[in-house]
């Protein structure tokens, strides 16, 4: 079953929920007219459906593999990537100073969702390049930017991030890849694993951003530096030269995203891989976090896209599959069964709340980067608060949604030909990528809430209270959502204050409670997005039937989704509790 981009709903979220009007008011984006937005969304939707979707299942079946000549991608991927570049999609959000179109991140985010939905294995490649561009634009020297950014922005070259090593996963303090000074450059030696799109045949060069240790570096993460290491050396005139001493030695056999080559890279097996320092010596991790935070939002958007694809497959199947009888005793499609409707409504309620939240974070990034004064500071604070939520909740949501997608199809969902199983397999990695969701929870609770005493979260809660007050009073379905959100905010505020006090007495509380706290915050934020949706539904371009269905879905979120926070609140009360007293021999 093919994917169709939900352009009308994406447009509704952009214009009515996520704050796109505030972004377009910025001087940098005043040329981004509604006509431009419409052209981008419609064009991206067609590219996703016509070019990326047709090679999704075939790419999954064939996968990428290593040959003596290098890594080979499945049939159609090289041609699709060339068209992606030729049509200007790679440069959409790129900086104009290096040949990009300079579109706002929130518009880029909408296309990233579509690419992930149509073909996540493919979508990871250009998204990594966009993350590398962000890191180099902010931290590289002018000479490095001028030398490498134009072709990264155009898509002639692609990018990667090289952090993980066999002994060093989430704990980067144990990274051992070393860098030795060599004239105006450096030579790197080591091995990196799990490098997405670490080698391939789509582009003429790949630019690796590699964490390594220089001589006499401090121990731990404070001793890491960031280096730009091209797969092929770059001549003074910008042309591609001889092969660098970095190569793929194997491609992982994975649960999903088979077409995306996840590589083991050998660095410096010979003379050493030529590289260039990015940022200051021993400041590699802060530099890399620019790319990592960018990718965290990208992972959330890809997960959101696959959830949408899974919903479309399940919805179509449920509308066609005749099974069982209705109340009048006549054969009926399974869409008529209450339990199937419950599953589909759960899928829709979660993915639409997630879309609003992801686009809201994207808009905050635009205002933070291109605004000024207090507005930019507030937007940066909001983006930092929402980033771990978007990454983790969108991925957790998508895993639940794609699992339900399999369930709606029943036995056919377990058969690969239906497409539901691939959605489930592909999306599972998103809860692991760019810091596991447990790490995202600790980031939210430890760094984004406890560090400032809950100030940023308190500002968000005040905004959500205002959204409750703005709800139309004429529709009982909408008022039920408002009442549920009042109760949810009371629980969130009480849990937050209790955790702040408990963590001051015992820092171990953070690790023990972070995931449940993140889920609590996420469900409240999802309800916030639904309130914004139902508040603005009447001034949208949706039909009367679509408006009523949207309000029904918001009421379903209040009745079936928000009560989940009660479980998380009860778990949070236990603190460290049994987690520290359980004998590890029995685990």
Write down the catalytic residue from 156, 434, 546, 570: 434
Query: Bridge partners of 548?
Result: none
* Spatial CB neighbours of 432, under 8 Å, sequence gap ≥ 6: none
Q: Which residue has the tokens 């979120």?
A: 557
Is there a domain that residue 88 lies in?
no
Cα 194 to Cα 18, 123, 215, distances in angstroms: 34, 17, 25
Tally of domains in the chain: 2
Assess if residue 533 is contained within a domain.
yes
What's the pLDDT at 586?
Answer: 64
Q: Phi/psi at 91 (nearest 5 deg)?
A: -95, 5
Range of the domain at 497: 437-580
Whether residue 210 contacts residue 168, with contact meaning beta carbons closer than 8 Å, is answered with no
**Residue where a domain stops, chosen among 255, 284, 313:** 284
Distance, in Å, from the CA atom of 66 to the CA atom of 170, rounded to the nearest integer, reads: 27
Q: Is residue 454 part of a domain?
A: yes
Evaluate whether 156 touches 204 at the Cβ level (below 8 Å).
Answer: yes
Each residue's pLDDT expressed in tens, for the chain with a length of 587 residues:
689 999 999 999 999 999 999 999 999 999 999 999 999 999 999 999 999 999 999 999 999 999 998 999 999 999 999 999 999 999 999 999 999 999 999 999 999 999 999 999 999 999 999 999 999 999 999 999 999 999 999 999 999 999 999 999 888 999 999 999 999 999 999 999 999 999 999 999 999 999 999 999 999 999 999 999 999 999 988 899 999 999 999 999 999 999 999 999 999 999 999 999 999 999 999 999 999 999 999 999 999 999 999 999 999 999 999 999 988 889 999 999 999 999 999 999 999 999 999 999 999 999 999 999 999 999 999 999 999 999 999 999 999 999 999 999 999 999 999 999 999 999 999 999 999 999 999 999 999 999 989 999 999 999 999 999 999 988 999 999 999 999 999 999 999 999 999 999 999 999 999 999 999 999 999 999 999 999 998 777 778 888 899 999 999 999 999 999 999 999 999 887 777 766 666 66
Torsion of CA 409, 411, 415, 417, to 10 degrees: -50
Tell me, yes or no, whether 312 lies in a domain.
no
Per-residue pLDDT at 583: 64
Identify the residue whose tokens are 């000479």. Answer: 143
Chain centroid offset of residue 160 CA = 16
| 434: annotated active-site residue | yes
In a domain, 134, yes or no: no
Here the tokens at position 573 are: 């009360």
Q: How far apart are CA 8 and CA 107, in angstroms?
A: 14
- Cα(161)–Cα(171) distance, rounded to whole angstroms? 16
493: Cβ–Cβ under 8 A, 6 or more apart, which residues? 461
Dist. CA 487–CA 59, nearest whole Å: 47
Q: Which two tokens stand for residue 117?
A: 């939905």
What DSSP assignment string belongs to 1-64? ------HHHHHHIIIIIS-HHHHHTSGGGTT--HHHHHHHHHHHHHHIIIIIGGGHHHHHHH--
* Within a domain: 264: yes
Domain boundary among 284, 302, 335: 284
At residue 585, the pLDDT reads 67
Could you tell me if 456 and 283 are in contact, meaning their C-beta atoms sit under 8 angstroms apart?
no
pTM for the whole thing?
A: 0.96
User: Among 216, 250, 284, which residue terminates a domain?
Assistant: 284
Residue 436: per-residue pLDDT: 95
How large is the C-alpha radius of gyration of the chain?
24
**Residue 305 belongs to some domain of the structure:** no
Count of CB atoms within 10 A of residue 28's CB? 15
Within-domain flag for 554: yes
CATH code for the domain of 213: 2.40.110.20
429 phi-psi bin (left φ>0, alpha ψ -120 to 50, beta other) = alpha
CA distances from 384 to 30, 109, 440, 467, 516 (A): 25, 17, 12, 21, 19
């Amino acid at each position: 079953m093919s994917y169709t981009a939900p352009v009308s709903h994406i447009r509704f979220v952009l214009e009515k929920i996520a704050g796109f009007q505030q972004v377009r008011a910025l001087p940098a984006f005043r040329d981004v007219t509604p006509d431009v937005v419409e052209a981008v969304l419609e064009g991206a939707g067609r590219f996703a459906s016509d070019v990326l979707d047709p090679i999704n299942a075939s790419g999954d079946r064939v996968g990428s593999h290593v040959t003596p000549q290098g890594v080979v991608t499945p049939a159609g991927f090289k041609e699709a990537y060339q068209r992606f570049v030729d049509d200007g999609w790679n440069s959409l959000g790129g900086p104009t100073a290096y040949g990009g179109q300079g579109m706002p991140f929130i518009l880029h985010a909408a296309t990233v969702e579509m690419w992930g939905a149509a073909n996540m294995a493919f979508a990871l490649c250009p998204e990594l390049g966009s993350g590398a561009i962000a890191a180099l634009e902010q931290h590289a020297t002018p000479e490095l930017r001028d030398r490498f950014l134009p072709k990264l922005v155009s898509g002639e070259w692609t990018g990667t991030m090289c952090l993980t090593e066999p002994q060093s996963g989430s704990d980067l303090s144990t990274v051992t890849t070393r860098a030795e000074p060599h004239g105006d450059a450096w030579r790197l030696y080591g091995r990196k694993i799990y490098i997405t799109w670490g080698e391939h045949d789509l582009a003429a060069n790949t630019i690796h951003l590699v964490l390594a240790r220089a001589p006499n570096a401090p121990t731990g993460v404070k001793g890491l530096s960031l280096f730009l290491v091209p797969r092929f050396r770059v001549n003074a005139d910008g042309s591609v030269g001889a092969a660098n001493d970095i190569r793929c030695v194997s491609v992982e056999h994975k649960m999903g995203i088979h077409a995306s080559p996840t590589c083991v890279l050998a660095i410096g097996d010979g003379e050493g891989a030529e590289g260039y320092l990015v940022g200051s010596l021993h400041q590699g991790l802060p530099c890399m976090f620019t790319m990592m935070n960018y990718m965290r939002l990208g992972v959330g958007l890809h997960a959101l896209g696959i959830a949408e694809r899974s919903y479309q497959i399940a919805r179509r199947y449920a509308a066609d599959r005749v099974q069982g009888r209705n109340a009048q005793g006549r054969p009926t499609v399974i869409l008529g069964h209450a339990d199937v409707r419950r599953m589909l409504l759960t899928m829709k309620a979660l993915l639409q709340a997630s879309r609003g939240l992801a686009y809201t974070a994207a808009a905050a990034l635009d205002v933070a980067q291109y605004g000024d004064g207090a507005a930019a500071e507030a937007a940066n604070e909001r983006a930092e608060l929402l980033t771990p939520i978007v990454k983790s909740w969108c991925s957790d949501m998508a895993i639940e949604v794609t699992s339900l997608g399999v369930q709606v199809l029943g036995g056919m969902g377990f058969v690969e030909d239906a497409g539901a199983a691939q959605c489930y397999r592909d999306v599972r990695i998103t809860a692991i990528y760019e810091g596991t969701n447990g790490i995202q929870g600790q980031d939210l609770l430890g760094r984004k809430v406890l560090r400032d005493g809950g100030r940023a979260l308190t500002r968000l809660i005040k905004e959500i209270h205002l959204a409750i007050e703005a709800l139309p009073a004429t529709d009982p379905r909408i008022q039920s959502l408002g009442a549920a959100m009042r109760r949810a905010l009371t629980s969130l505020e009480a849990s937050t204050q209790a955790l702040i006090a408990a963590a001051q007495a015992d820092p171990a509380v953070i690790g023990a409670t972070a995931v449940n706290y993140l889920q609590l915050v996420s469900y409240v934020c999802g309800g916030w997005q639904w309130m914004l949706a139902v508040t603005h539904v009447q001034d949208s371009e949706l039909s009367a039937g679509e408006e009523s269905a949207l309000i029904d879905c918001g009421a379903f979120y209040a009745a079936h989704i928000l009560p989940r926070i009660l479980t998380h609140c009860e778990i949070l009360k236990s603190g460290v509790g049994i987690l520290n007293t359980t004998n590890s021999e029995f685990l």
